[in-house]
Amino acid sequence: NASEVLLKQYVTDNASQHPRKHDTFIGYGTAGFRTGADLLDHVMFRVGLISALRSKSLGGKAIGVMITASHNPEPDNGVKLVDPLGEMLAPDWEKLSTSLANLSDDELPQAIIEKLIKPYSIDWQAPGLVYLGRDTRPSSVALAKAVIDGIACIGCELIDFDVVSTPIVHYLVASRNDESLGEPTREGYLKKLSGGFRRVCSQGKEKTRYNPTIKVDGANGVGAIVMKEFADEIDSDIIKIDIVYDGSSGRLNHECGADFVKVNQTYPPGLITPEKAIRFISLDGDADRVIYFYFDSNNAFRMLDGDKIATLFAEHLGGLVKQSGLSLSIGLVQSAYANGSSTNYIQDVLGIPVSCAPTGVKYLHHEAMKYDIGIYFEANGHGTAAFSSKSLSLIKDAAKSGENPATVELYEFTNIINSTVGDAISDLLAVEAILYSRDWTIEDWDSKYADLPNKLMKVLVKDRTVITTADAERKVVTPEGVQSKIDNVVAKYKNGRSFVRPSGTEDVVRVYAEADTKANADKLCSEVSAVVF
Ligand code: NG1
Ligand code: ZN
């Protein structure tokens, strides 16, 4: 029909501005499309098309597009789509995105009709809305232009938020589609989180242990920019925020940031004088991951990762729920990378149920939604507490009278916490508010349980897809026989645990091991790698 002919003509004309210049296969993985920035121009144009049509297929609801390669090196880039509730893209559209991204320019126009317009009965001339954001990578500017061209080709409203963190894009999309979540502007985000934080941190009696000074490692990325906005918004009597790796000189994620600290289990080398008694906080390149660290009285480096943050959230929010007398279920979701000690602490000491989901926050988020308050974190510092709409309205109503301080505080945590997705700065504010509320030092927090020494290795293989797993990635299914060999090796180690899985974001296989000592964890990790490869 005429409308289809017209659309095909538009796609043909505009795609020629963003031709597919190579035939490297690029798939929509756990973090969207992610690879070298120079391979992505045509993918971005197509993502523009897809995002506009996704919005139109959902009656014009806002859809998000975020251009970033997160913690990966600066020359990489990537893009992911955000669905209307602020959640990750629906799985069928992930598959469609992969298939459309890898077609030739000639095949594309007809495929848009056959794979999107017809099966989803999309009126491509109906209204649509896309929210666009990008990180600070130099390549993100041109790649954003390609997305914009794709959106314009379909004809769809676009709001471009320029340089912004990934979690802000999730918040903006979610609040645009559900106004009870807050005002759908950057200002609205800042005001909601900082307001809750300020109110919690000006309550209660004088603090004797909590030290309101923090040093934030912005990974030389957008996190530094957003953190600066919060520092301007929050009175320095409440918290003193010093930002380092703010992007003024060093390269993005280079020897700094949350991934560097977590993977190397050390502090960024540029922090020349490790100061005692200060909390250091490393964000990643798009500000959705956060890792705490400090130097203890012996000047030893101590790291508090996503598992430590998750347990702190669980302990505090769990306590507030009890004190408020509200009937709300609370649970915690981890991935296989969670430290065994954290799992034991949450289950045995806190008495809060724990479940394990496959790597990737979308799986954790999904599992967390089974609770009224579902806390989930990856060990690498990506996570949040997801409040169900039932819990949000219950807490809000109960807090109105102001009678029970625990209920009021719980309500304020629903403002501080970006419930749509892991958000480094929101998590940081929540951790600080909890430490303040409990009048804890970072040592107090750290002393709750001791991490088992662990090791994470990357192994380069010819074809990582030969390894398949089950049981939330904790057991190898193929190649056959590998799992029993791993079991035999693990059995030799005290507190030993190890697993192997193909990465969803890099062309490597990851091997994880933990054991009673660091030397044993390292040894177990090498032994398991040797068994597999
Ligand atoms: P892969 O590459 O699938 O291991 C990594 C992280 C995930 C998640 C994704 C998305 C580890 C071990 N894996 O996934 O937790 O954050 O990247 O960014 O940290
Ligand atoms: Zn990230």
Question: Counting Cβ atoms within 10 Å, is residue 60 exposed (0-12), middle (13-18) or buried (19+)?
Answer: middle
| Size of the chain in residues | 533
- Ligand 2 center from residue 415 Cα (angstroms): 22
Same domain, 116 and 129: yes
State the CB neighbour count (10 A cutoff) for residue 484.
Answer: 10
Domain that holds residue 517: 454-532
Single-letter amino acid, residue 30: T
Domain presence at residue 212: yes
Output the pLDDT for position 532.
Answer: 81
Could you tell me which residues are beta bridge partners of residue 384?
376
Three-state helix/strand/coil letters over 462-479: CCHHHCEEECCCCEEEEC
419 phi and psi, to 5 degrees? -75, -15
Output the pLDDT for position 271.
Answer: 85
Ligand 1 close to Cβ of residue 382 (< 6 A): yes
State the CB neighbour count (10 A cutoff) for residue 433.
Answer: 24
Ligand 1 close to Cβ of residue 30 (< 6 A): yes
Q: Which residue's CA is the closest to the ligand 1 atom numbered 8?
A: 360
For ligand 2, a single-atom ion, which residues have Cβ within 5 Å?
70, 284, 286, 288
Helical (H) or strand (E) element with 529: helix 518-532
Ligand 1 atom at minimum distance from 360 CA: 8
Output the pLDDT for position 316.
Answer: 98
Same domain, 400 and 505: no
Same domain, 276 and 338: no
Ligand 1 close to Cβ of residue 54 (< 6 A): no
pLDDT at 379 over 80: yes
What band does 275 get if pLDDT is binned at 50, 70 and 90?
A: confident
Average of pLDDT values for 481-490? 96
Q: Which residue's CA is the closest to the ligand 1 atom numbered 1?
A: 503
Average of pLDDT values for 465-490? 95
| ipTM for the whole complex | 0.97
Output the pLDDT for position 114.
Answer: 98
* DSSP per position, 133-176: EE-S-TTHHHHHHHHHHHHHHH--EEEEEEE--HHHHHHHHHHH
Angle formed by the axes of helices 306-324 and 424-438, nearest 10°: 60
Domain presence at residue 52: yes
Same domain, 120 and 206: no
Same domain, 24 and 157: yes
Dihedral (Cα; 441, 385, 342, 345), 10-degree rounding: 80
Cα–Cα distance, 313 to 385 (Å, whole number): 8
Give tens-digit pLDDT for 357-367.
999 999 999 99
Cα–Cα distance, 530 to 225 (Å, whole number): 44
Cα–Cα distance, 19 to 160 (Å, whole number): 23
Single-letter amino acid, residue 1: N
Cα–Cα distance, 499 to 476 (Å, whole number): 8
- Ligand 2 center from residue 227 Cα (angstroms): 15
Ligand 1 close to Cβ of residue 337 (< 6 A): yes
Cα–Cα distance, 147 to 49 (Å, whole number): 8
Domain presence at residue 176: no
Three-state helix/strand/coil letters over 209-258: CCCCEEEEECCCCHHHHHHHHHHHHCCCCCCEEEEECCCCCCCCCCCCHH
Percent of the chain with pLDDT over 90: 94
Domain presence at residue 68: yes
Same domain, 108 and 226: no
Can 282 be counted among the known catalytic residues?
Answer: no
Q: Which residue's CA is the closest to the ligand 1 atom numbered 13?
A: 359
For the CA atoms of the chain, what is the radius of gyration?
23
Give tens-digit pLDDT for 409-461.
999 999 999 999 999 999 999 999 999 999 999 999 999 999 999 999 999 98
Same domain, 388 and 262: no
Confirm if 350 and 317 have CB atoms less than 8 A apart. no
Cα–Cα distance, 306 to 8 (Å, whole number): 47
Same domain, 118 and 12: yes
Give tens-digit pLDDT for 286-339.
999 999 999 998 989 999 999 999 999 999 999 999 999 999 999 999 999 999
Output the pLDDT for position 203.
Answer: 86
Q: Are strands 373-377 and 76-82 parallel, antiparallel or unpaired?
A: unpaired
Same domain, 103 and 27: yes
| pLDDT, the chain, mean | 96
Domain presence at residue 503: yes
Domain presence at residue 278: yes
* DSSP state, residue 499: E
Cα–Cα distance, 221 to 246 (Å, whole number): 7
Please identify, among 260, 280, 303, the residue that sits at the C-terminal boundary of a domain.
Answer: 303
CATH number at residue 486: 3.30.310.50
Same domain, 276 and 326: no
Q: Which residue's CA is the closest to the ligand 1 atom numbered 19?
A: 380
Same domain, 366 and 354: yes
How many domains are there within the chain?
4
Cα–Cα distance, 232 to 222 (Å, whole number): 16
CATH number at residue 262: 3.40.120.10
Same domain, 286 and 310: no
Dihedral (Cα; 154, 93, 377, 520), 10-degree rounding: -120
Domain presence at residue 168: no
pLDDT at 255 over 90: yes
| Best residue among 71, 359, 467 to mutate for probing ligand 1, ranked by most atoms within 8 Å of CB | 359
Ligand 1 atom at minimum distance from 337 CA: 12
Domain presence at residue 62: yes
Which residue bears the tokens 């190649």?
A: 479
Flag the least confident range among 143-147, 232-236, 254-258, 382-386. Answer: 232-236
Among 51, 55, 57, 70, which one carries the catalytic annotation?
70
- The structure tokens listed for 75 are 């020359």
Residue from 339, 378, 346, 379 nearest 362 by CA: 378
Please identify, among 271, 303, 335, the residue that sits at the C-terminal boundary of a domain.
Answer: 303
Angle formed by the axes of helices 2-15 and 41-57, nearest 10°: 150
459 phi and psi, to 5 degrees? -125, 130
pLDDT at 274 over 80: no
Please identify, among 139, 163, 187, the residue that sits at the C-terminal boundary of a domain.
Answer: 163
- Ligand 2 center from residue 282 Cα (angstroms): 12
Q: Are strands 454-459 and 509-514 parallel, antiparallel or unpaired?
A: antiparallel
Ligand 1 close to Cβ of residue 378 (< 6 A): yes
* DSSP per position, 470-506: ETTTTEEEESTTHHHHHHHHHTTSTT-EEEEEE-SSS
* DSSP per position, 63-100: EEEEE--TTS-TTEEEEEEE-TTS-BPPHHHHHHHHHH
Cα–Cα distance, 488 to 435 (Å, whole number): 43
Confirm if 458 and 507 have CB atoms less than 8 A apart. no
Question: Counting Cβ atoms within 10 Å, is residue 180 exposed (0-12), middle (13-18) or buried (19+)?
Answer: exposed
- Ligand 1 center from residue 31 Cα (angstroms): 8
